[in-house]
Structure 1
Amino acid sequence: MQPYPRNWTQVTEFVMVGFAGVQEARLPFFLLFLTVYLFTLAENLAIILVVGLDHRLRRPMYFFLTHLSCLEILYTSVTVPKMLAGFIGVAGGKSISYAGCLSQLFLFTFLGATECFLLAAMAYDRYVAICMPLRYGSLVSWGTCARLAAASWLAGFLTPILPLYLMSRLAFCGPNVVDHFFCDAAPLLALSCSDVTLKEQVDFLVSLAVLLASSAVIAVSYGNVVWTLLRVRSAERRRAFSTCAAHLTVVGLFYGTLFFMYVRTRVASSVSFNKVVSVFYSIVTPMLNPLIYSLRNKEVKGALGRAFSLKSWKRR
């Protein structure tokens, strides 16, 4: 690290610029993001509730979907409430303490990495179900599901530890204005008065390792699934392809934006474009995932109908 400037003072608070260019339309944007956030919470909570209540959905695929729904709720809740507070000018809505900023960065990275590993576990589940159906019960037992889910959360938790440690070692001596709507690594590095070369390299390698390891499992799993489906009857093929297409849509949306944002060594030239991409993977994708994965599923729609029907509640 380079020597700190003379008479420097460590920044104790950051100010979020957010979407400064839309200040005149901040109320419509506030209502839009609030609606998306509430809708995301409602649909993910509905999935957790219906899988917990309906014994027909006590299967590995839906076990993983409940974990994904929990992740989406936490993932959006780390950033969106603070962003909404900034839109309407709540006292302290645009400011965040140094410790709070690093905590937000840790949680966001932890949950994002966990989702990568969980999507890989779900791809493995679909691979075994379609390619080795006779061995599915032994290969994807409840114990295996629990271990895969626990490993996803643990690996996700370990992912940001070294990058966050290196971030905490950097000096921030002003300015303290973060040109983003949450504490992401790239805009923070732009504010540091230390040499950030090592930090950028570690961020690049950690991001690349997480994305390549999880995407390799997904690619191999779905490659085998497609190869297997090409050799089965057309009716079964259409049904299985429909399910896999939904899964791959989620994976494509999530991984496409993450590869763009994080597998880089320098801050991208267009900060505004980075914000748009960040909105997509941190707010829009968590809203779309339940629709693509679960709420289009006939079993889930049937379970929702049973769970929220008046007769069902009367029997309880």
Structure 2
Amino acid sequence: MEVTAGTVEIITCAILILVSLIGNTILIYCTWKCITRHLPTSFALIFSLAVVHLARNLVVNVMSIVFNSGVVVDSPTCKVGKFTAAVTTTLAVWFTLYLAVLYCVKLYRVVHPLNMAPEKKWRRHHLFAVFVLWAAGIAVCCPVLVFGEKAAHVVAENATQSQYDSLLYTECLVNYSSQQVALFYGKIFLVIVDLLPLAVLVLVSFRVVLLLWEHKKATYGDIWIGSDATEDEVLRASKLVIFLMFLVTLLWVSHFILVYFLTDLSSYYFIPAVLTVLFSGYSALSPYLLVLINYKVRVQLRSLKSFCCPDFKKSVLPDVKKSVSESAITVASPDT
């Protein structure tokens, strides 16, 4: 049996949805169990990223499966699909950058300790900033929701149809009211709101690498006397942030380049599947890194494992007790 482009894309979307659903559901559950009256900034960012990733897969990729199954889409469906794709991409980049900046500041405080305790009021400002990012991301992508519509396919009588249909790239388009709006908003502004934060994210990651190297040199110079749970937590999270930077940057740039040359590559049947992997790869893989950033989330994950797999309960409980004891040590240090 010949495998068609639609079948390949359906299988790809199904795998990405399954991987993302498992990872983000676990991440949301563990983060929600850790939330108390004082919501740390890292929890708000991790929770927001998980919600964005779920929306990306459960809306866009499910719609792609439905489209490739033979269901005809209409303009409202295209509006929702294009808007969700745009807003989840933008918010994923912004929240990842915010998370990187947060742990870069934390790492700087580890390497260069402050003379006084940080002010707790900053937590409110951070949470307000997270809310502003949600509102700004939705507002920025609203024109996509307005101008998105189903493409009108016009095929000449003597022409052969060699282009493989894809929901986001050929079936659903964004037809702006004028060429100026299409140029300045669709081709310049929307690219800048993603590309500029990615560039800043790369710079922040370089700063994190330099701070890690500085911390390593200081440790070998016997300046640091031991290490506590807070330092270990920040160091581990900073290293994971670097992996997140590589993942989101490489996938975004590869996706952008492929879409730019889509006209020349649309005759290859595997292109829709490749675009799907590049588009949703970050939302499927990043939850398994985000769940390792905060020790409280890891404690909840181990508790979930012990509940689902009683055979491993004895081996898991000592680690949980150890993490709980570490949390008792770090309770005095506020989360910025």
- The answer to whether the 8 A contact 2:96-2:244 is kept is no
Distance in 1 of aligned mates of 2:35 and 2:148: 46
Deviates more, 1:68-77 or 1:203-212: 203-212
After TM superposition, the structure 1 = structure 2 runs for residues 1-316 of structure 1, keeping only pairs within 5 Å, are 22-23=3-4, 26=7, 30=10, 33-54=13-34, 59-87=40-68, 89=69, 93-133=70-110, 134=114, 137-138=118-119, 141-165=122-146, 167=148, 173-175=152-154, 179-184=164-169, 188=172, 199-233=182-216, 243-262=237-256, 267-271=262-266, 272=268, 274-295=271-292, 300-307=297-304, 309-310=306-307
Q: Which has the larger radius of gyration?
A: 2
Moved over 6 A (4+): 235-239, 263-266
CA distance in 2, matches of 1:62, 1:216: 24
Distance 1:131 1:283 in 2: 32
Structure 2: distance between partners of 1:289 and 1:280: 13
Secondary structure of the 1:175 match is coil
List gaps (5 residues or longer) in structure 2. Answer: 156-160, 220-226, 314-336
Q: Deviations over 1:266-310 (max 9, x none)?
A: 754212465344212333321111122325876543321224544
Aligned length: 283
What SS does structure 2 have at the residue aligned with 1:230? Answer: helix
For residues 114-158 of structure 1, the C-alpha deviation after alignment (integer angstroms, 9 at most, x for no partner) is 111111111111111111354784388331231221122122112
In 2 relative to 1, CA 203–267 (structure 1 residues): closer, same or farther, beyond 3 Å? farther
Counterpart contact for 2:292–2:298, Cα < 8 Å:
yes
Instruction: Specify the code of the residue in structure 1 equivalent to 2:154.
Output: P
The alpha-carbon distance between structure 1 residues 48 and 265, as it changes in their structure 2 partners (threshold 3 A), is closer
Tell me the CA shift for residue 182 of structure 1: 2.5
Name the stretch that deviates more: 69-78 or 222-231: 222-231
Task: State the secondary structure of the residue aligned to 1:94.
Answer: coil
- In 1, the alpha carbon distance for the partners of 2:271 and 2:15 equals 22
Whether the 8 Å CA contact 1:258–1:281 is kept in 2: the answer is: yes
Per the alignment, residue 18 of structure 1 pairs with none
TM-score (norm 1): 0.72
* Equivalent in the alignment of 1:15: none
CA distance in 2, matches of 1:24, 1:122: 37
- Partners of 1:111 and 1:227 in 2: CA distance: 31
Deviates more, 1:270-279 or 1:258-267: 258-267
> 50-59 vs 282-291, which deviates more?
50-59
> With CA pairs under 8 Å and 6+ residues apart, which has the higher RCO, 1 or 2?
2
- Output the CA distance in 1 between the equivalents of 2:35 and 2:181: 51
Instruction: Return 63-72 or 243-252, whichever deviates more.
Output: 243-252
For residue 73 of structure 2, give the secondary structure of its aligned residue in structure 1: strand
Deviations 1:45-77 (A, max 9, x none): 111111221369964323311111111100111
For the residues of structure 1 that align with 2:43 and 2:19, how far apart are their CA atoms?
20
- Aligned residue type for 2:83: F
Q: Which SS does the other structure have where 2:49 is aligned?
A: helix
8 Å Cα contact 1:130-1:225 kept in structure 2: yes
Alpha carbons 1:47, 1:294 under 8 Å: kept: yes
